[in-house]
Structure 1
Amino acid sequence: MSKSVARLKSMKKLAEKIDHSSTLRTNIPAGMAAAGPPLGPMLGQRNINIAAFCKDFNEKTSNIKQGIPLPTRVRVNADRSYQLVINQPPASYFLKQAAGVNRGAMEPVKETCGKITLKHLYEIAKIKSQDAALDWKPLKEICTMLIATARTCGIEVVKELDAKDYEEFLNERKSIVEEQKRLLQEKREAKMLRTA
C-alpha cells in the first residue's frame, strides 16, 4: 500500500511540472496596442492584465513607425505574467513597401502588382534573418522563401528596374486596382440585396 501511495505522489509531482501555459500568436500594429477588440478579448481569455500589456507593448515599440504590423508571440505563465517576443514585420509587408504598392494582386498567377530588384530582396532577407524563427537559416534559404512570398503577393523579382518604366507600370496598375475595387463593391452590394 505504501508503494502505491509513494508512486501516486511522484506521479502528482510530475503532473504539476507539466507546462499548461498558452502562447498567443498575433500581429499587433506598432505603438497601437489597445484594450479593445481584437487584442483585448485575446488577452482577457489568457488572464493577462490588458492595460499593463498594452502599455508594455507600446513602450517596446515606440521606436518603430506607428501602425507597422509586428508578429507578436506572448507566452503566458501560470502566475499571469508573460514573456513578450516581438518579431520583425512580416515579409509581405517589406515586399509591398519595396515594390511601392499597398496591396497584393487579387490573382497572383495572372497579374503582377509590383516589381522589386534582387538587391531589395537581399536587404529584406538580411532584416528577416534577425527573427528568432529564421535565426538558424542561411541567407540563401531566406531569399528563396522571400521569392516564393513575393510570387504569392503578385510581386515580380527582377535583376534591374528602370525608375521611369516602373512609374508608368504603377500608374497603369492604379486604374486596374480601381476597377477591381469597383467590381468587389458591386459584388458586396449584390450579395446584400440577395440576403435582404
Structure 2
Amino acid sequence: MPPKQKKKVFESTLQLAAGEAPVAELGKMLGQTGVNLVEVKRAYDTATATRRGDIVPAVVTVFEDRSFELRLKTPPTAFLIRKALGGDGSARPGHDSAGVLSREQVREIAEQKLSDLNTADLDAAMRTIEGTARSMGVRVKD
C-alpha cells in the first residue's frame, strides 16, 4: 500500500536574506499555521548559507500535521540586475538611465533564472530579462 499523501494547509513564498532569515518575518507569514518557526529558520538558513548577501525566495508548504517543506527559488530578476550593475535602478525609467548591461551579463542572469521562468529557450529568457532591465531604466548594449 503506498504511503498516504500529507494534506497541504498553507503555502507561501517568502523573500528573505540568504542565511539570515529573521524570525519576526517568518512569524508574520507563518505564525497562524502553528509550524515551528525556529525549525523553518534553521532549515532556510542552512540551505542558503552559501548564498549570503542574496535575496533567495523560498516556497514554504505547511501540512496539517504541522510539518513543512521548503523549496528554494532563484533570486528575483531585479535583484540580479542591481547586483550586476552595482547600483539601483532609475527613479525615472525612460527618462533617466541607471546604467548599462552587456549582452553577456544579460545571458548570465538568464541562465541563472531559466529554471524559474516559463520558458526553456535561452533567447526568450534573455528578452524577459531585458524587459525587466528596461522597466528599471537600465539599457542593454549589443
TM-score, scaled relative to structure 2:
0.88
Output the amino acid matched with 2:105: H
5+ residue gaps in structure 2? none
- Where in structure 2 are the equivalents of 1:77-88 lying within 5 Å? 77-88=63-74
Partner residue in 2 for 1:189? none
Q: Does 1:40 align with 2:23?
A: no
The answer on whether the counterparts of 2:97 and 2:139 sit within 8 Å (CA) in structure 1 is yes
Which of the two has higher C-alpha Rg? 1
How big is the shift at 1:20?
A: 5.5
How big is the shift at 1:104?
A: 1.2
> What's the % identity of the aligned pairs?
28
The RMSD of aligned alpha carbons is 1.7
TM-score, scaled relative to structure 1:
0.65
- 2-structure distance, mates of 1:141, 1:77: 36
Larger helix share, 1 or 2:
1
How big is the shift at 1:129?
A: 1.1
5+ residue gaps in structure 1? 1-16, 160-196
Query: Which digits, 9 at most, give the CA deviation of each residue in 1:132-183, with x for residues without a partner?
Result: xx27531111111101100111111002xxxxxxxxxxxxxxxxxxxxxxxx
Moved over 2 A (4+): 134-137
Query: Which digits, 9 at most, give the CA deviation of each residue in 1:78-112, with x for residues without a partner?
Result: 111111111111111111121221x2111112111
Query: Which digits, 9 at most, give the CA deviation of each residue in 1:5-58, with x for residues without a partner?
Result: xxxxxxxxxxxx9x552211120110011212x222212122211011101110
The answer on whether the counterparts of 2:21 and 2:45 sit within 8 Å (CA) in structure 1 is yes
Partner residue in 1 for 2:135? 152
Output the amino acid matched with 2:42: K
- 1-structure distance, mates of 2:50, 2:115: 17
Between 1 and 2, higher relative CO (CA 8 Å, sep ≥ 6) is seen in 2
